[in-house]
Amino acid sequence: MNKIFSACAVFAFLFSSAEGSICSVLEKFKQRSLETNSDAVVISRNGRNIFEYFSDECSDHIDSQEMSRSFIPLAYAFLLEDKKIPCLDVPVCFLFPLWESGKTRPITLRDLISNTSGLDKGKIPILDFFESEAFFPVGTRYYRNDKALTILVDIVENITGMTYEDYLFQKLFRPLGIQSVCWKETNLSPMPQIMLSAKDWVRIGNFFANDCLVNGKPLLSEKVFRQLFIPSQEFDPFFGMQWWLEYYDVAFWWDDNLLWAYRCEEVDESIVQELASLEGQEYHFQGKIIGNELDGLKCSAKENILAEEAFLYELVDEVRSKGLPLCRFRTGKVKAMSSIGKGGEQLIIMPYGKWVAVRQTKSSSMSSTEDSNDYFEDFLPLLEQLAAEYDGWVD
């Protein structure tokens, strides 16, 4: 039998008239966890787990796949905190003296983390990076390159004299009370992938939701911590330091310089014409874009081209393929931070209410989420619905 523990059973005494609606959402979580073949779903509010689901085949450690990337900026946050590096704008050639890659300027740590390094993702191992020209001038394109992240792992090890895994265990996992951490090497990934339990992922989420406090003391200063959850570059407002971001509001517009850049890079002229017709007017969006997918994206424009999902998909596909900015933007307050893996693994942190939710599945070994019926695509909307039902309650 699947093991389900929900707020309905454990905390029913907290609720009055709202009990039914809260339990209804939790029942939906249970249903969707089963339908999507989830191995584990855990939801925490204000540091207390209010819903737990584990399948019969759930193990203590599940491969987190691409979610492992989210630990790289964390390692650098601790290097900043310990003053082992002065900032993220240190040129990598200072740390690897023989490396002079970069046509317009030296590649920095920030370039590597933010996907703007210009390195050719076909070049591996690292020595090939040293000997190769940049794929494009540094800082001029947004281009995901997971292989470049291996350089960041090596730099951590060079600076600390420890393995990347041991450094994170000492600085993060041990202080959070996470005693069992597994890493694995795979031909499908150029960097080590972490295997953690859902409850340990919740501990990490609560660490962020509580401003990096552990036993009342901060492991990271607010100045360092905040760098992780702002746009990491000017090309994509939804991509932070290897974390995906969603805001309560984002202002978007397209100016003449950006449209000129689109034309120079041969973006479809019909797209450019449509954007030019907006005459630089500012619009507002909610939701986010992850990769090339529109995730709950809604525009304040009701009657122009931005209200058409087909146009937005075409725009995103065009500019992403060329590494160009999606738009000019101004972001509001962060609504949620997410670490997302293939197959629908997710860690979602919603600072308001200190909500943390984790979903894991061993079906992540599939080649793409598009081929799977197991992708829990309504995970965040359900969490937002649950948070709305809880709003105003004090435990």
| Six token digits for residue 139 | 């800082």
Which domain range does residue 270 map to? 244-331
CB 193, CB 184: distance < 8 Å: yes
Domain membership flag for residue 342: no
Q: Do 140 and 256 lie in a common domain? A: no
Per the structure, the count of domains in the chain is 2
Q: Do 83 and 186 lie in a common domain? A: yes
Domain membership flag for residue 192: yes
Residue 155 to residue 171: CA distance in whole angstroms:
16
Residue after which a domain boundary falls, among 331, 357, 390: 331
Q: Do 143 and 259 lie in a common domain? A: no
Domain membership flag for residue 57: no
CATH number of the domain encompassing residue 77: 3.40.710.10
Q: Do 84 and 163 lie in a common domain? A: yes
Q: What does the pLDDT read at residue 235?
A: 93
Q: What does the pLDDT read at residue 357?
A: 97
Q: How confident is the prediction along the chain (395 residues), in pLDDT tens digits per residue?
A: 445 444 444 444 444 445 568 899 999 999 999 998 899 999 999 999 999 999 877 667 777 778 889 999 999 999 999 999 999 999 988 887 666 655 567 889 999 999 998 877 655 555 555 555 556 888 888 988 877 888 899 899 999 999 999 999 999 999 999 988 888 877 666 678 888 999 999 999 999 999 999 988 999 998 998 888 889 999 999 999 999 999 999 999 999 999 999 999 999 999 999 999 999 999 998 888 887 788 888 888 777 899 899 999 999 999 998 999 999 999 999 999 999 887 788 999 999 999 999 999 875 444 444 445 577 888 989 999 999 988 765 55
Q: Do 192 and 69 lie in a common domain? A: yes
Nearest to 376 by CA among 331, 350, 346: 346
Residue after which a domain boundary falls, among 331, 347, 365: 331
Q: Do 69 and 192 lie in a common domain? A: yes
Domain membership flag for residue 292: yes
Residue after which a domain boundary falls, among 274, 308, 331: 331
Domain membership flag for residue 211: no
Domain membership flag for residue 58: no
Q: What does the pLDDT read at residue 134?
A: 58
Q: Do 94 and 183 lie in a common domain? A: yes
Distances (CA, A) of 285 to 163, 230, 250, 293: 42, 17, 5, 15
Domain membership flag for residue 250: yes
Q: Do 109 and 182 lie in a common domain? A: yes
CB 265, CB 233: distance < 8 Å: no
Domain membership flag for residue 205: no
Q: Do 166 and 77 lie in a common domain? A: yes
Q: Do 111 and 183 lie in a common domain? A: yes
Cβ-in-10-Å burial (0-12, 13-18, 19+) of 344 comes to buried
Q: Do 86 and 178 lie in a common domain? A: yes
The Cβ of residue 219 has, within 10 Å, a number of other Cβ atoms equal to 19
Q: Do 73 and 189 lie in a common domain? A: yes
Q: Quick check: helix, strand or coil at residue 173? A: helix
